Every structure is written in structure tokens, then in C-alpha cells.
């Protein structure tokens, strides 16, 4: 907590550390009230650092003892203040002994060492290690660690840390110990320990090389029936990284531990990944298909960090996307490869792009917009963003699009060959890609340095006489905070051309010599847009085609392209690129939603009959096309979300958007009722539950059909939902039915909500779902959310629980949150202020819910500004919240 104005840190100010740490030995006496930590480290002065002091960071710590080469450092030998311990006159080679004391039970920030349900856990990324001991806590300082844990044997029977267990035993006095050694050099943010009453599922697994490794998934007693999927996901991850990237697990033991109090999804600590329970625990009773998929991708993500993040790490936190963007790309490819089918891959791609558009595009257009490699930050925790992760992944994906899969693999190989064991930069990664591919990727750097979502405008011209077709691409990028003008990006634009029969035409670019002679001309081509505007000429084009542009979403841009409704319906029905087939439907729906929202704003009545139009016909065609994969149908038949529609408007009217989306859903429900019923019946998945993509896709479409049918709110619809609720044998169907009931006027809805709670009150993750479903329900207003906060199961201290109710309401129920009287904003401010003292990181996430306030109607803006100013005026605001609020008010 602070009283001054927090200072920004700049990328340009990077300087190497004055000392390197070689070895670290730590002894922990674990006690929830007062833990003592003795650290011995050996350091060597960096070249060119003679005369410089040694800088160590420490926060929320008591310094008990400080010795240099065995001798106590006197009061004149160091200064301590503002989280920095500076030691003077340090020799070139030195051994430092530091003893610290800390209070895990009082640590509600969940950074550093803390307790959760009586057990000990750590979270050190980004700067949590400094809450354990004084240390040069920066990622370019890499050392080997040996750790001894001592604790009461009954209360803490399990003692875990990174690497290999080399010794354990009794201490006599009811206490015991364990010694762990991590043979690999690592930055301090990858340190971890876990101690407490936990049990594990374990297996030995044989690597391709024949070496056997021990895999463990640790959970609280009573959860061993929920670990199989995480274990399977881990084995799949290990195999996938061997096959796709030739990367082997380097340790003999790999552990995953689940904890119920956790700020984010999971953490890739070397050999000891710590996970939010949400991304470990699953069985059919408590977890949905989406939960199963989430577990697979997060287990993969953290495992893949072992190479992209741990073996090769970041020089400084500005390079965060070096590991996060790359690792998200790897987990996305992993999930896609596991599905295997073309259609399944497309579904995964659409889902990933949906996240990007729903969350990252708004970030890139708002006051917190920042480049994939930021130039400055106040609090690094605020930069674990969708830009760093998801846009970062898109940037990595573009290398693969430009270099090809094999070229990309060569680049990865070179990257590891050059940088294994090092702390490096995004430029190093780009250089490896460029050198391996023999390509000039200097312009590509702009994807790292410029914020904002580029727009690409498409214009076409067909010359019938010359049988030529021209595509002109023109790029621009809007200003973002601190970046008024942008240079042109290097943008890969994948295109195809459809003939009037809906088939792909062979593509022959005028600039490519001998293209005609090729026996098989490609049907998708990657055009490289590097200038502000470029025209590409295709020849031998027999008829005027319908262009399919930005296939598979080949770049994270907004495409401005004019299609008629008929062309969109044609693409939706015919494009060989499944992503663009989906995209065409979304464009069609978006066009209609924007027109209707305009009508509502002008006070016009919405006309039901007008909706058996291009959209109704296109949806009907999709819904009745038996050749389509159900998972794809579900995505294609889902209207753009309210927040995605909002993004398209200059002045957002949340209630108008909500009204229109419901209106359209009801129109589609009644126009296609019979087809929805058929889809419902034909996509049932009888028998034992399995989360495989085919079954999950069927359930997805069936439950989408249910949600449309229930829009009609009649007795038959209620009966269908109620019977699904009563008969469900898995959480996917149960929660979908409950949601359908709660969002309708079904007579059984209150009873269903109550019985759901009774049935699952022992399952924290399901209670989260119960809160979240209510927070996002149509009828839930601010008063109802405040009421839910009084429920005995509610707690602000547990991040999952806080997210389930408060974040779900503020981010997932826009029509109620943006109540015209501003009551939603007052609620928001109350909760940001309350969370600020408990957990600044979580508070700052919630603070972001108002960062697009300038996009709303003036009356709403005034009320949002008032709420923002109330938070800004709060005493002892954390750096985290202060940064978000002050940037929101400034831009
Ligand atoms: N590096 C982690 C990941 O991407 C995320 C992470 C960063 C994190 N900081 C954290 C998780 C703090 C929990 C708490 O997978
Ligand atoms: Zn990560």
C-alpha cells in the first residue's frame, strides 16, 4: 500500500544486474503465524560493475539477520527502505546469509508464501519471491536452488519444492523435513513450495527416449476422484511436445498441485506446477465440457512453459509475451492437434478468435492499450493481459503462417539451440525465426512495438476481358495512448476465390512466373501486405469470384470488406475455409443487430416478421445441413455477444443491444422452432458421459437449441428444460438446463436453484457456477447481487468466489450492470475498494470493468466517472488499482 504516486518503469532503462547469483540454499521453518526463512546464496559481481552496490528486493518481510562471508553486516553497510535492500562494498565473490520472518496466515494477496485451507503454497511470478526473502528478484538472475522444508509432521505431512527429492526424515520433536534440489538454473519467479495435508494420484510414464518419469497430481483429500483428466492431459502434453517440437521433459519428476485460493489460472514453477482447482478437478458430476477443455489447455500451457519460459526465460518483464504468447500458441496448437479433424481444428480456431475479439480488441481500443512488448508499466501484475497472451499468440501464429509449419519448427529449433539456459528478449525470438527461415522480418517488429488493432480494407475489381481479378488491401491503425501515429505492419492475408458454384478457384498471381504451368495451383494463398496499400493481380480468373479473405484469421486485424447479404449467405454455405464460413454468418448477424439497435435507439418498434430474412434463411440452412459438425453449428448459430456488438458502436447503449439480441433470438426461436426441436432430439448423448469433442459438440448444439426454445417461454419449453434438469447425468446438461430455467419464467426455477445448491454445496467449484449463473441471469439486478453477497457461502477473500459473483455481474450482465441510475457503478466501486485491501491483483482486474467508460452515452459516462473518481480518492490505494484507475480517467 502506498501514499505517494507510483513510478513507472521503462523498458529503455534496462540495465544488467550488478551481481549474478550462482547458488541458493534455503531453509524454511514453516509456521502459519510466523515462518522463518534462512537463505544462503553465492554471488559473483557482473563485469563492469566494480564499485556498484548489491541491490536486493524485499516486501512485507522482517529482516532478522544479514551476513556477508560469515560476518554480520553493520548498520552502515546497507540501507533498507521502500522494498529495496542495498548493500555496499560487496566483494567480487561473496556468500550472503539472510534470515527473514514472514506471516503466511495474514497474507491475503496470495503472492509469496500464503496459506489456503490450512496448507502452505507459494506464488512467485512476477515479483512474489521478494515476499519470502531479500533477493535480486528479476528474471535475468538465474540460479540453482536447494531447499530444506521443516514443519509439523501431523499438520504438514507433505513437503514439496522444485526438482528432485534428495532427502527426508524426522526431526524428533513431532516435526519432519524434506530436502529438494533443482538441477536447472532458474529465475526466482519459478521457485515454489507446497506443504500440508494433500494426497496424490501418481503414475510412471515412459518418454520416447525410454526414460521413465514420475507424474503426480496433488489435491486435498476427497478430491482423488477428480484428478484423472488432469493426469491424462499431462501425459498428452508430454507426448505432444516430443512429437511436434522434439522437446523432452527434463526432470525425473513432474508435479501438479491444486489450490482453491489462487489469483489466476495456474503457474509453471519448475517441476512443481501450482494450479487453481478450477483447472485440475473434474468428473462428470461437477465439471462441464468447457471445464474439461479448459483443464486440458491449462495443463498443456503450464507443461509447455517448461521449455518456453523456464529453460529459455525472459530477460525482463517487458518480454513477458516471449513466454506467454508463445506458450498460448503452443497450447492452442496442442488442443487443435488432439481434436485432430479439420472441422474440430476450425472450431478451436473460432473459439480462440472469439476470445481475442471479445476481450483483446476492446483492450487494444481502450485506455489500457499496450503493445505486445510494452514500453512501460507501473505494476507488472497489470500486464498479464489478453494482449500479452492472446494477441501475443496471434503474433507467434503469424510466423508460422509466413514461414510454414516446417519453417516455424526450424525457427524454434534454432531458438533453443541459441538460447537454452538464457534469459532473452522478443527480438531474440524474431531473429531465430528470421535466420532459420532466411527471411527479413525487421518490419515484423512493429507487431511488438505498436499497440492497437490494425484495420485492413479490401477492394476488388474484376476485368472480364483480361480474365483478371485485383484485390487491393489498404491498412491503417488507430492511435493508442502514447502512440498517435503508426507505421504499416507486415500482415499475412490468406485469401481464396470462390466460383459461382461455391468451389475454390485455382489461384495464379500475376507476379509469380510460370504459375500457369503448375499442375496444381493452390486454392489459398498468403498475400503479404507490407505497404500502406497494395494491389494483388490474379490471372486466368474465368468469372467474377466471391473473395474469401483472411482465411483461418491469418492476422489479428479488423477486416473492412463490403459483401451483400446474398454473398455472405453464399460464403456461409460454401466457403471451404470453415473459419470464414462462420465469419460470414457472424457478419450477417452483426449487420442485422446493428440495424435493429439503431431502430431501438430511434424509438422504433421491432417487427417480428421482418426477421425471416437473410439471417433466418442462413440459420435455417446451417441448422438443417446434416453434413455439418454439431460443434461448428453451435458456433455458427450463436449470435455475436452483447459486448462484441457494443465494440462496433460509437456510442454504446447496453439495454438496446440486450433488447435486440433477445428479440432476434426469439424471432429465430419461433421461426425455426421445429428445427430446434429436431436438433435437440438428434444431438442427445445417451449413455455414460464422455468429454470427447464429438460428444461435447453434440451437447453444445443440443443445449443451444434448448436455450433458443426456452426463449419462447411457454409450457412446453419449460417442461423440456425441467426434464433435462431432472434427468441430467452430467454437469454440462444440468447447468445448461438450470440456466435455461433461471432465464425464463418457468414455475420450477426457484426450486431448481435451491436444490442445485443443496446438492452441490460441498463442491466449491460448483457453488462458483451457482453464483455465476445467477449473476449473469437476465432478471438479476444490482440489489439481487448485493443480496447474494450476504449468502453464507460468499466470500471476497477467495478469488474464484469473488469472480463468480462480482466479475460475472460486472462483465457478464451488461444490461443490468449499466442500469441508468448508476447503481451498478456504485456497486463496482464498493467492491474495488473492498478488494483493494484484501488482494490488489484481483481488485485491479475488477477495476478494468469500467475502462471503456468513454464509449457510453453521456449520462452513463457521468455516473461512471463519478465511480472512478471515488475509487481514485480512496486512501492507501494499491499500485495495481491506482494504475488502472488513473489510466482510465486519463484517456
Ligand atoms: N505464468 C502464469 C501462466 O501463464 C500466470 C501467472 C502469472 C500467475 N502471474 C501469476 C498465476 C500470479 C498466478 C498468480 O500460466
Ligand atoms: Zn503462461
Tell me how far apart the alpha carbons of residues 496 and 498 are, in angstroms, rounded to a whole number: 7
Average pLDDT over every residue of 283-310: 99
Give a yes or no: residue 236 inside a domain: no
With a 6 A CB cut-off, is 815 part of the ligand 1 pocket? no
Residue 515 has pLDDT above 80, yes or no: no
The crossing angle, in degrees rounded to 10, of helices 749-760 and 764-775 is: 160
Residue 834 has pLDDT above 80, yes or no: yes
Atom in ligand 1 nearest the alpha carbon of residue 381: 9
- Model confidence band, residue 712 (pLDDT cutoffs 50, 70, 90): very high
Residue 2 has pLDDT above 60, yes or no: no
- Model confidence band, residue 721 (pLDDT cutoffs 50, 70, 90): very high
Q: What is the mean pLDDT of the chain?
A: 97
With a 6 A CB cut-off, is 839 part of the ligand 1 pocket? no
Pick from 195, 220, 237: which residue ends a domain? 195
What's the confidence (pLDDT) of residue 614?
75
Distances (CA, A) of 516 to 460, 512, 513, 526: 22, 9, 8, 18
With a 6 A CB cut-off, is 880 part of the ligand 1 pocket? no
Going through 153-211 in order, the beta strands assigned E by DSSP cover 158-161, 164-170, 175-187, 193-196, 199-206
Alpha helix positions (H), 558-653: 565-574, 578-601, 614-623, 630-636, 642-647
595 Cβ contact partners less than 8 Å away, ≥ 6 residues apart? none
For residue 318 the three cell numbers come to 517487458
With a 6 A CB cut-off, is 324 part of the ligand 1 pocket? yes
With a 6 A CB cut-off, is 129 part of the ligand 1 pocket? no
**CATH code at 490?**
1.10.390.10
Minimal CA–CA distance to 168: which of 183, 149, 154, 184? 149
Give a yes or no: residue 181 inside a domain: yes
Question: Are 449 and 374 spatial neighbours (Cβ–Cβ below 8 Å)?
Answer: no
Distances (CA, A) of 729 to 188, 553, 726, 777: 45, 37, 9, 23
Q: Which helix (H) or strand (E) holds 126?
A: none
Tell me how far apart the alpha carbons of residues 581 and 571 are, in angstroms, rounded to a whole number: 6
Tell me how far apart the alpha carbons of residues 596 and 610 are, in angstroms, rounded to a whole number: 11
Give a yes or no: residue 683 inside a domain: no
DSSP code at position 652? B
Same domain, 407 and 552: yes
Residue 1 has pLDDT above 50, yes or no: no
Give a yes or no: residue 682 inside a domain: no
Measured by CA distance, the residue closest to atom 7 of ligand 1 is 125
Tell me how far apart the alpha carbons of residues 806 and 794 are, in angstroms, rounded to a whole number: 10
Q: Which helix (H) or strand (E) holds 266?
A: strand 266-267
pTM: predicted TM-score of the whole model, two decimal places = 0.98
- Map residue 384 onto helix, strand or coil: coil
Give yes or no for a cis peptide into 226 (omega within 30° of 0). Answer: no
- Map residue 45 onto helix, strand or coil: strand
Atom in ligand 1 nearest the alpha carbon of residue 305: 15
With a 6 A CB cut-off, is 298 part of the ligand 1 pocket? no
Per residue in 249-279, pLDDT (tens digit) is 999 999 999 999 999 999 999 999 999 999 9
Measured by CA distance, the residue closest to atom 13 of ligand 1 is 264
Question: Are 149 and 193 spatial neighbours (Cβ–Cβ below 8 Å)?
Answer: yes
Distances (CA, A) of 54 to 9, 20, 50, 365, 736: 19, 10, 11, 41, 58
Question: Are 69 and 77 spatial neighbours (Cβ–Cβ below 8 Å)?
Answer: no
384 Ramachandran zone, left/alpha/beta (phi>0; psi -120 to 50): beta
Pocket test for ligand 1, best of 110, 124, 125 (most atoms within 8 A of CB): 125
Rounded distance from Cα 523 to ligand 1 centre (Å)? 41
Atom in ligand 1 nearest the alpha carbon of residue 327: 4
- Map residue 713 onto helix, strand or coil: coil
What's the confidence (pLDDT) of residue 513?
59
- Map residue 389 onto helix, strand or coil: helix
Tell me how far apart the alpha carbons of residues 103 and 115 are, in angstroms, rounded to a whole number: 9
Q: What distance lies between CA 727 and its chain's CA centroid?
A: 34
Tell me how far apart the alpha carbons of residues 268 and 189 are, in angstroms, rounded to a whole number: 10
- Map residue 600 onto helix, strand or coil: helix
Average pLDDT over every residue of 155-178: 98
Evaluated on CA atoms 583, 290, 845, 791, the torsion sign reads: positive
Q: How many residues would you count in the chain? A: 891
Annotated catalytic sites, by residue? 302
Question: Are 35 and 104 spatial neighbours (Cβ–Cβ below 8 Å)?
Answer: yes
Give the count of domains, the chain: 2
Distances (CA, A) of 594 to 262, 568, 860: 39, 16, 20
What's the confidence (pLDDT) of residue 891?
86
Average pLDDT over every residue of 562-566: 96
Ligand nearest to the CA of 393: 2
With a 6 A CB cut-off, is 372 part of the ligand 1 pocket? no
Minimal CA–CA distance to 246: which of 424, 406, 436, 434? 406
Pick from 154, 180, 195: which residue ends a domain? 195
Ligand nearest to the CA of 330: 2
What's the confidence (pLDDT) of residue 606?
87
Q: What distance lies between CA 4 and its chain's CA centroid?
A: 32
What's the confidence (pLDDT) of residue 605?
87
Minimal CA–CA distance to 511: which of 470, 457, 552? 470
Give a yes or no: residue 545 inside a domain: yes
Q: Are strands 376-377 and 9-10 parallel, antiparallel or unpaired?
A: antiparallel
Pick from 160, 179, 195: which residue ends a domain? 195
Per residue in 572-621, pLDDT (tens digit) is 999 999 999 999 999 999 999 999 999 999 999 887 666 557 789 999 99
- Map residue 381 onto helix, strand or coil: helix
What's the confidence (pLDDT) of residue 511?
78
Residue 518 has pLDDT above 80, yes or no: no
CA angle 521, 523, 529 (to 5 degrees): 105
DSSP code at position 795? -
Q: What distance lies between CA 701 and its chain's CA centroid?
A: 24
Measured by CA distance, the residue closest to atom 10 of ligand 1 is 125
Give a yes or no: residue 414 inside a domain: yes
- Residues paired with residue 272 on neighbouring β-strands, in sequence order: 255
Q: Which helix (H) or strand (E) holds 396?
A: helix 392-419
CA angle 830, 831, 834 (to 5 degrees): 90
**CATH code at 3?**
2.60.40.1730
DSSP code at position 74? P
Minimal CA–CA distance to 843: which of 814, 812, 810, 865? 810
- Map residue 182 onto helix, strand or coil: strand
What's the confidence (pLDDT) of residue 598?
95
Per residue in 348-387, pLDDT (tens digit) is 999 999 999 999 999 999 999 999 999 999 999 999 999 9
Same domain, 176 and 320: no
Minimal CA–CA distance to 191: which of 199, 200, 183, 182? 182
Long-range CB contacts for residues 655-659, cutoff 8 Å, separation at least 24? 655/815, 655/818, 655/820, 656/597, 656/600, 656/601, 657/593, 657/597, 657/814, 657/815, 658/814, 658/815, 659/600, 659/606, 659/815
Tell me how far apart the alpha carbons of residues 61 and 673 are, in angstroms, rounded to a whole number: 64
Max intra-chain CA distance, the chain: 95
Q: What distance lies between CA 65 and its chain's CA centroid?
A: 41
The number of beta carbons lying within 10 Å of the beta carbon of residue 604 is 10
What's the confidence (pLDDT) of residue 607?
77
Tell me how far apart the alpha carbons of residues 580 and 548 are, in angstroms, rounded to a whole number: 7
Give the range of the structural domain holding residue 24, as residue numbers without chain letter.
1-108+128-195
Tell me how far apart the alpha carbons of residues 33 and 123 are, in angstroms, rounded to a whole number: 18
Average pLDDT over every residue of 467-483: 98
Give a yes or no: residue 883 inside a domain: no
Minimal CA–CA distance to 691: which of 743, 770, 631? 631
Give a yes or no: residue 864 inside a domain: no
- Map residue 530 onto helix, strand or coil: coil
Distances (CA, A) of 460 to 193, 470, 489, 528, 547: 60, 5, 21, 16, 9
DSSP code at position 359? I
Measured by CA distance, the residue closest to atom 2 of ligand 1 is 267
Ligand nearest to the CA of 268: 1
What's the confidence (pLDDT) of residue 520?
78
Minimal CA–CA distance to 600: which of 526, 513, 667, 662? 662
Burial of 513 (0-12, 13-18, 19+ CB in 10 A): exposed
First-to-last C-alpha distance (Å) of the chain: 25
Q: What distance lies between CA 266 and its chain's CA centroid?
A: 11
Question: Are 235 and 205 spatial neighbours (Cβ–Cβ below 8 Å)?
Answer: yes
Measured by CA distance, the residue closest to atom 5 of ligand 1 is 267
Amino acid at each position: 500500500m502506498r501514499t505517494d504516486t507510483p513510478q513507472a518503469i521503462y523498458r529503455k532503462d534496462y540495465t544488467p544486474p550488478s551481481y549474478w547469483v550462482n547458488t541458493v540454499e534455503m531453509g524454511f521453518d514453516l509456521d502459519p503465524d510466523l515462518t522463518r526463512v534462512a537463505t544462503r546464496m553465492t554471488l559473483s559481481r557482473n563485469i563492469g560493475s566494480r564499485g556498484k552496490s548489491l541491490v536486493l528486493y524485499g516486501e512485507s518481510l522482517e529482516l532478522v539477520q544479514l551476513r556477508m562471508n560469515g560476518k554480520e553486516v553493520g548498520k552502515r553497510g546497507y540501507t533498507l527502505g521502500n522494498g529495496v535492500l542495498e548493500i555496499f562494498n560487496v566483494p567480487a565473490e561473496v556468500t550472503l546469509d539472510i534470515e527473514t520472518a514472514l506471516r503466511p496466515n495474514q497474507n491475503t494477496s496470495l503472492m509469496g508464501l500464503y496459506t489456503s485451507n490450512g496448507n502452505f503454497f507459494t506464488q512467485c511470478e512476477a515479483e512474489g519471491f521478494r515476499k519470502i526473502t531479500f533477493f535480486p528478484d528479476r528474471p535475468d538472475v538465474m540460479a540453482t536452488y536447494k531447499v530444506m522444508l521443516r514443519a509439523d509432521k501431523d499438520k504438514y505431512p507433505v513437503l514439496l519444492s522444485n526438482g528432485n527429492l534428495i532427502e527426508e526424515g524426522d526431526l524428533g520433536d513431532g516435526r519432519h523435513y524434506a530436502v529438494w534440489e533443482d538441477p536447472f538454473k532458474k529465475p526466482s519467479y519459478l521457485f515454489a513450495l507446497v506443504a500440508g495435508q494433500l494426497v496424490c494420484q501418481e503414475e510412471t510414464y515412459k518418454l520416447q527416449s525410454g526414460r521413465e518419469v514420475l507424474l503426480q497430481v496433488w489435491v486435498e483429500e476427497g478430491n482423488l476422484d477428480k484428478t484423472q483428466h488432469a493426469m491424462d492431459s499431462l501425459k498428452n502434453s508430454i507426448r505432444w511436445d516430443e512429437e511436434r517440437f522434439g522437446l523432452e521433459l527434463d526432470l525425473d519428476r513432474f508435479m501438479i498441485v491444486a489450490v482453491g485460493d489462487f489469483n489466476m489460472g495456474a503457474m509453471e514453477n519448475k517441476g512443481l506446477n501450482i494450479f487453481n482447482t478450477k483447472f485440475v478437478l473434474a468428473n462428470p458430476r461437477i465439471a462441464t465440457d468447457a471445464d474439461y477443455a479448459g483443464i486440458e489447455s491449462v495443463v498443456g500451457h503450464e507443461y509447455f512453459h517448461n521449455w518456453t519460459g523456464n529453460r529459455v526465460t525472459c530477460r525482463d518483464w517487458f518480454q513477458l509475451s516471449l513466454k506467454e504468447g508463445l506458450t498460448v500458441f503452443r497450447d492452442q496448437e496442442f488442443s487443435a492437434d488432439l481434436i485432430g479433424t479439420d472441422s474440430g481444428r476450425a472450431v478451436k480456431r473460432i473459439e480462440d478468435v472469439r476470445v481475442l475479439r471479445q476481450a483483446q480488441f476492446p483492450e487494444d481500443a481502450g485506455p489500457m492499450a499496450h503493445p505486445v512488448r510494452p514500453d512501460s508499466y507501473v505494476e507488472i501484475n497489470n500486464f498479464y493481459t489478453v494482449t500479452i497472451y492472446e494477441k501475443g499468440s496471434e503474433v507467434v501464429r503469424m510466423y508460422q503462417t509466413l514461414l510454414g509449419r516446417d519453417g516455424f519448427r526450424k525457427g524454434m529449433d534454432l531458438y533453443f539451440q541459441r538460447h537454452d539456459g538464457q534469459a532473452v528478449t522478443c527480438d531474440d525470438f524474431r531473429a531465430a525465426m528470421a535466420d532459420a527461415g532466411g527471411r527479413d522480418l525487421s518490419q515484423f517488429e512493429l507487431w511488438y512495438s505498436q499497440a492497437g488493432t490494425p484495420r485492413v480494407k479490401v477492394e476488388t475489381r474484376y476485368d472480364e476481358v483480361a480474365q483478371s481479378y485485383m484485390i487491393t488491401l489498404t491498412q491503417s491503425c488507430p492511435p493508442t495512448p502514447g502512440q498517435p501515429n503508426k507505421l504499416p505492419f507486415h500482415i499475412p492475408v490468406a485469401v481464396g476465390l470462390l466460383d459461382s458454384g461455391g468451389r475454390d478457384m485455382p489461384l495464379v498471381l500475376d507476379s509469380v512466373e510460370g504459375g500457369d504451368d503448375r499442375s496444381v495451383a493452390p486454392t489459398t494463398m498468403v498475400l503479404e501486405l507490407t505497404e500502406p496499400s497494395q494491389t494483388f493481380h490474379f490471372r486466368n480468373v474465368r468469372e467474377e469470384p466471391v473473395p474469401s479473405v483472411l482465411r483461418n484469421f491469418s492476422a489479428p486485424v479488423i477486416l473492412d470488406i463490403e459483401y451483400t447479404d446474398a454473398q455472405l449467405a453464399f460464403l456461409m454455405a460454401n466457403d471451404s475455409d470453415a473459419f470464414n464460413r462462420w465469419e460470414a454468418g457472424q457478419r450477417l448477424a452483426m449487420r442485422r443487430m446493428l440495424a435493429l439497435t439503431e431502430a431501438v435507439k430511434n424509438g422504433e418498434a421491432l417487427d417480428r416478421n421482418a426477421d425471416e430474412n437473410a439471417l433466418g434463411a442462413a440459420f435455417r440452412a446451417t441448422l438443417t445441413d446434416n453434413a455439418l459438425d454439431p460443434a461448428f453449428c453451435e458456433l455458427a448459430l450463436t449470435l455475436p455477444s452483447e459486448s462484441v456488438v457494443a465494440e462496433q458502436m460509437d456510442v454504446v447503449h447496453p439495454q438496446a443491444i440486450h433488447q435486440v439480441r433477445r428479440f432476434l433470438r426469439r424471432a429465430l426461436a419461433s421461426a425455426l422452432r421445429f428445427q430446434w426441436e429436431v436438433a435437440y432430439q438428434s444431438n442427445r448423448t445417451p449413455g455414460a458421459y464422455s468429454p470427447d469433442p464429438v460428444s461435447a459438440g453434440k451437447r453444445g448444439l443440443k443445449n443451444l437449441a434448448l436455450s433458443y426454445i426456452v426463449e419462447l417461454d411457454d409450457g412446453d419449453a419449460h417442461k423440456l428444460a425441467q426434464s433435462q434438469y431432472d434427468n441430467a447425468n452430467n454437469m454440462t446438461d444440468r447447468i445448461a438446463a438450470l440456466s435455461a430455467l433461471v432465464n425464463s419464467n418457468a414455475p420450477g426455477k426457484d426450486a431448481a436453484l435451491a436444490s442445485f445448491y443443496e446438492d452441490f454445496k460441498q463442491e466449491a467449484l460448483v457453488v462458483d457456477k451457482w453464483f455465476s449463473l445467477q449473476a449473469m441471469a437476465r432478471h438479476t439486478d444490482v440489489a439481487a447481487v448485493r443480496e447474494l453477497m450476504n449468502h453464507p457461502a460468499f466470500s471476497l477473500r477467495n478469488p474464484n468466489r469473488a469472480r463468480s459473483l462480482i466479475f460475472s455481474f460486472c462483465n457478464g450482465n451488461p444490461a443490468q450492470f449499466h442500469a441508468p441510475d448508476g447503481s451498478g457503478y456504485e456497486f463496482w466501486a464498493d467492491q474495488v475498494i473492498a478488494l483493494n485491501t484484501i488482494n490488489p491483483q484481483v481488485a485491479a482486474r475488477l477495476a478494468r470493468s469500467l475502462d471503456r467508460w468513454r464509449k457510453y452515452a453521456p449520462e452513463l459516462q457521468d455516473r461512471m466517472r463519478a465511480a472512478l473518481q471515488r475509487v481514485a480518492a480512496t486512501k492507501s490505494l494499491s499500485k495495481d488499482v491506482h494504475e488502472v484507475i488513473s489510466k482510465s480517467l486519463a484517456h
